[in-house]
Structure 1
C-alpha cells in the first residue's frame, strides 16, 4: 500500500512521542507523514478566527496552529528530509482518525491522549482504533529496546497471518531480527475465552511432549511462507509454555516492537479486539502494532 503514515496529535506527551515514531516509520517506507489533529469546536459554534469576545488573532485557532507546528517540528527533527503534511479535521478524534485509516498504510497514536484520566493505562482512542481502523495501528508506549527484535505473537490461525506478514516486513524495514512467539498450555483455558471447566489435554493425548511437538509444528507452518519471502531475515522462535497474556507482556520488555492480531483463535467470533490484544496494549513495555484480518 502506498498511502501515508498518519499520526494523531493532541499536544500530549504521549502524542508527541508517537510523532517521533511515526516520522521514522514514514522515512523507512519512503512515504509522506500526515500529522492530524481532530477538533470539536465549542457548542456555541463560534468561528475559529477573530472574536469580539476573545483575542483578535483567535485563541482557538492559534492554539491549534501551535500544536501542529510543534508536532511537525518534532517530526522533522526525528526524521530529517521526510515530507510532512498537516490537517485539522472537524469531529471527535476516533471518527476522524478512523476515516484517515482508510487511505493510510499505518496509523500511529500515543497510548493515552490529553483527554484521558491519569489512572488509565490506555486511552479510549487507542483501543477503539485498534479494533476499528482500516489499516494497522501502532500504539506508542513503554521503553522499547532499540537493539531488540521485532516480536510477533503467532497463534497459527488464519486471522493471525496478516500480523505475521506485517511483522516480517517491519523487521526487514528496520534491519532487525524477528522473534516469533507462540504460547501454549496443556489446559484448554489458555486461550482468550473458555466455556465450562478447563480440561488437561494430557488426559486425552497422554503426552505433554507430543503436545509441544504439535504446537512447534503449528508455529513452523505459520512462518514458512514468510521465511521464503524474506530469506535474508534472521528469524528466531520462542515456544513458551504458559498463559499467552503474561508471556507476551514479559517478552515485550526486551523488544523494540510487538506485533499481534486483533483477535486470536480463542476469541468470540464477533469480537473485534480480543482480551489478549487488549491486555498487551494496556501493559506492554514497548510499542504495539495491532493488525486486523481482512484489511
Structure 2
C-alpha cells in the first residue's frame, strides 16, 4: 500500500494553527489528501448531563476552524476531518499506520487530551509508524536550507527524507555530523561528503553538502535550526536514531527555531 495521506492533530491552540498551515502547504506540494483529527474526552455522564456533547462539540468547532485554515493556506487541497473520543496519542499513532506523515504542534496541553506522561508531540514522535513533523519556531517555506542530523552510520531514512524535502522545497541540504574529533571512534572517513552521492543521483536538482562539526549534537542542531527551513533527524536505536529518547531530542523539540522532522 502506498501511503500518501498527511495527518494533522488539532486542539484549537495557536500551536495547532501553525501545524495545520504547515501540513496544508505540504499536502499541496505533494498533491495529496490532508486529514485533520481531533480527540475529546468521553466522560461518564449522568442522565441529563451534556459534558460529552460539549466536549465533542468543542472538538467539532476546532475541526471546522482547522479546515478553514487549511483551505486558506493551500486553496484547492482535499481536506477531510474526524473527531474521535479518547486520547490524542493513540489516535495519531493509529492514524500513522496509513499515513505518509503526521504533523503536530510543538505543545499540546490545551484542548487535545494527552496521556499522563509527556506531551503529544514527544510521544507521537517516538511511537508513530511514519514520518512525524513537530511544527515550532519559524516555518517560512521559502527561507533557509534543510538541515539533516546524521551519525557515522548515515541513516538512509534521514537522508532520503531530507533530500525529498529539499527537492520539494527547492532548497539546499546541509547534512551535519556532530561529535568530538579527538575521539578515535568518531566517523572521520576520508570523504564524508561521498555518502551523499547516491542521493545526489536520485535528486540531481538538490545542492547538498556534508559537514563534520565539533561540539554537542543538541547545541549544534539547535543553533543550525535558527537559519534552517527544517531539521531532519531519525527516530530510535543508535546515535541520532535514539535522539528522541534522550536529552538531544528533548532539547531539539523544546528549542528548535524551525520545524523538526522525525524520519522513518
Shorter-chain TM-score range:
0.7 to 0.9
- Which one of 138, 163, 178 corresponds to residue 183 of structure 1? 178
**Does structure 2 conserve the Cα–Cα contact (< 8 Å) formed by 1:257 and 1:289?**
yes
* 1:196-275 correspondence to structure 2 within 5 Å: 201=184, 214-215=188-189, 217=191, 219-263=192-236, 265-266=238-239, 273-275=245-247
SS of corresponding position for 1:17: helix
Q: Which residue does 2:26 correspond to in 1?
A: 25
1:267–1:65 CA distance, 2 compared to 1 (3 A): closer
The Cα of 1:144 is off from its aligned counterpart by 3.6
Alpha carbons of 1:234 and 1:83: their partners in 2 closer, same or farther (altered >3 Å)? same
Task: Quote the residue 2:89 is aligned against.
Answer: 94
| Contact 2:193 2:209 (8 Å CA) reproduced | no
Cα distance in 1 for partners of 2:190, 2:72 equals: 44
1:40 deviation in Å?
2.0
- Structure 1 residues 272 and 254, CA gap change in structure 2 (3 angstroms): closer
- Please state if 1:83 is matched with 2:55: no
Shift in Å, 1:265: 3.7
In structure 1, the partner of 2:143 is 147
What SS is found at the alignment partner of 2:26? helix
Equivalent positions of 1:107-118 (< 5 A) are: 107-115=102-110
What's the CA shift string for 1:26-67, capped at 9, x where partnerless?
A: 1111110000011221133x7xxxx84459xx5334322211
- SS of aligned partner of 1:107: strand
> CA, structure 1 residues 278+174, in 2 after alignment: closer, same or farther (shift >3 Å)?
same
* Structure (1 or 2) with the larger CA radius of gyration: 1
Q: C-alpha distance in 1, partners of 2:234/2:49?
A: 50
How does 1:63-74 map onto structure 2 within 5 Å?
Answer: 63-74=58-69
Q: Residues 149 and 268 (structure 1 numbering): CA distance in 2 closer, same or farther, change over 3 Å?
A: closer
Which stretches in structure 1 are left out of the alignment for 5+ residues? 117-122, 189-200, 205-210
SS at match of 1:232: coil
2:128 is aligned to 133
Residue deviations 1:247-288, cap 9 Å, x none? 11100000010000124744798x873432232122111000
Aligned length: 255
Q: CA deviation at 1:154?
A: 1.4
RMSD between aligned residues: 2.5
Q: Does residue 173 in structure 1 map to residue 168 in structure 2? A: yes
Task: Compute the TM-score of the two structures, normalised by the length of structure 2.
Answer: 0.87
Task: Decide whether aligned partners of structure 1 residues 11 and 170 sit closer, same or farther in structure 2, where only a CA change above 3 A counts.
Answer: same
Q: What is the DSSP-based 3-state SS (H/G/I as helix, E as strand, rest coil) of the residue aligned with 1:254?
A: coil
Which deviates the most, 59-68 or 35-44? 59-68
Partners of 2:233 and 2:241 within 8 A in 1 = no
Instruction: Give, in whole Å, the separation in 2 of the partners of 1:154 and 1:267.
Output: 6
Assess, with a 3 A threshold, how the Cα gap between structure 1 residues 144 and 84 changes in structure 2: closer, same or farther.
closer
Secondary structure (helix, strand or coil) at the match of 1:152 reads strand
Uncovered stretches (5+) of structure 2, i.e. residues with no partner: 112-117
Contact 1:264 1:274 in 2 (8 A): no
